Copies of this chain bind each other. A is one copy, B any other.
Amino acid sequence: MALIVQKYGGSSVANIERIENVANKVMEFRKRGDQVVVVLSAMSGETNRLIDLAKAIQQQPDPRELDMLLATGEQATVALLAMALKKRGQDARSYTGAQVRILTDNAYNKARIVNIDNGGMQGDLAVGRVVVVAGFQGVDEQGNITTLGRGGSDTTAVALAAALKADECQIYTDVDGVYTTDPRVVPEARRLDRITFEEMLELASLGSKVLQIRAVEFAGKYNVPLRVLSSMQDGPGTLISYEDVEMEDALISGIAFNRDEAQITVQGVPDQPGIAARILGPIGDANIEVDMILQNTSTDGSTADFTFTVQRNDYDKALALLEKHAGEMGAREVKGETRIAKLSLVGVGMRSHAGIASTMFSALAKEGINIRMISTSEIKISVVIDEKYLELGVRTLHSAFNLDQAPAA
């Protein structure tokens, strides 16, 4: 008997038939004697429908009211699943985020979970009830409804698993696990049986859209074993946990990529202390997230070029801000490029193996792919390249590191 938290995404609850499927899946675990907490997203399309309603009123609707509106989507699905479980003779209760209560800060549209009261859920589980919780939402200290932002249901599931000290948090989705890279780009991409939190974090943040990054962070922080698996077909999925002795001895786990970035270069700024802060200050103030950052000093040492990447939909705003501040920063020119892509090799094996970077760079060079920026971390090497070379780059690296073949155990 285990305590399992399961999360089903919007496509898994898209209509009544699929909700009945989820109920059947939950029943399998109940029959095994497991205690089950289910976290649901809104029916696929519902959140967009609600956003469209709000935008029909105002392009930038009031954030508090938008959360009030969006929270209805998950509230509907949890009630429907609880009904489907009751029909199967399984006692069940649905809860909103506020009812649980999932306490968040008051940053509407992207709130962070502060605390979860697990008392009520423990009581339900103890009497054999399935607890069905609305994902993506919470409540602030003042009782206002908040949402965690897109993909927030994953975070809800992991946070509940942590609060309940669950044995496993299962994220059901429309793919059957985490792959070495996107199979649409590389047909030979292989499902990974296991992967570490750190690797998953790098893969998630770099564009593998399987799991929300905050959920993985949460799972790592509270050591909640996380499993990604398909709600449509049976299979073991991919287990995300801490590195252990049984782990595959892989150099590289996967290749992530991201087209959703744009590059901005501030040229010829005086090479003085504090210049990076002066450039990035207005960007941060405008709530624009910066990803890669690079600073080159000119040969004479008096000026520097400062390059960074932002999300593509922040590009215009960031560029306008910098052009406005270019004068006071003493910059010669502000330039930008949107047709770029980021490509990253990820693997805990890098820690103990040299030569990964040179293999990567020479493989790309052999195909004539120019590297615009490089950034490295302990378990990741990222490069920015021209967008047109993205697919070629991914296939080249997938093959160069033999990712289509399972490594020796």
Contact = CB atoms under 8 A, between A and B. Distances in A.
Interface of A: 16, 19-20, 50, 53-54, 56-58, 61-62, 64-66, 68-69, 71-73, 75-76, 78-80, 82-84, 86-87, 93-94, 96, 98-99, 143-145
Nearest to A64: B93
A58 B61 CA distance: 37
Q: How many copies does the complex hold?
A: 2
A91 to B, nearest CB: 10
Given A66-B83, A72-B72, A76-B72, A57 B94 contact: no
Contacts of A72: 72-73, 75-76
B50 A65 contact: no
A14 to B, nearest CB: 12
24 contacts: A16-B56, A16-B57, A57-B80, A57-B83, A58-B84, A58-B86, A58-B87, A61-B83, A62-B86, A64-B93, A65-B86, A65-B94, A66-B83, A68-B82, A68-B94, A71-B75, A72-B72, A72-B73, A72-B75, A72-B76, A75-B75, A96-B145, A98-B98, A99-B144
Contact of A53 (B16, B61, B78, B94): B16
Contacts of A16: 53, 56-57
A133 to B, nearest CB: 12
Contacts of A76: 50, 53, 69, 72
Contacts of A86: 58, 61-62, 65
B54 A80 contact: yes
A355 to B, nearest CB: 56
Contact of A79 (B20, B68, B80, B87): B68
Which are the 7 A-B pairs with shortest beta-carbon distances? A69-B79, A72-B72, A68-B79, A16-B56, A65-B79, A65-B82, A62-B86
A contact patch SS? helix
Given A62-B86, A75-B75, 15 more contacts: A16-B53, A53-B76, A53-B80, A54-B79, A54-B80, A61-B86, A62-B82, A64-B93, A65-B79, A66-B83, A68-B78, A68-B96, A69-B76, A69-B83, A99-B145
Nearest to A87: B58
A64 B96 CA distance: 13
Contact of A57 (B19, B53, B56, B64): B19
A54 B68 contact: no
Contacts of A96: 68, 145
B84 A80 contact: no
A61 B80 CA distance: 9
A57 B93 contact: no
A74 B78 CA distance: 17
B143 A99 contact: yes
Given A93-B64, A99-B143, A69 B58 contact: no
B98 A83 contact: no
Contacts of A83: 54, 57-58, 61-62, 65-66, 69
Q: Which residue, A58, A62, A84, A144, has most C-beta atoms of chain B within 10 A?
A: A62
Q: Which residue, A75, A79, A96, has most C-beta atoms of chain B within 10 A?
A: A79
Nearest to A82: B65
Contacts of A50: 76
A79 B56 contact: no
Contacts of A94: 65, 68
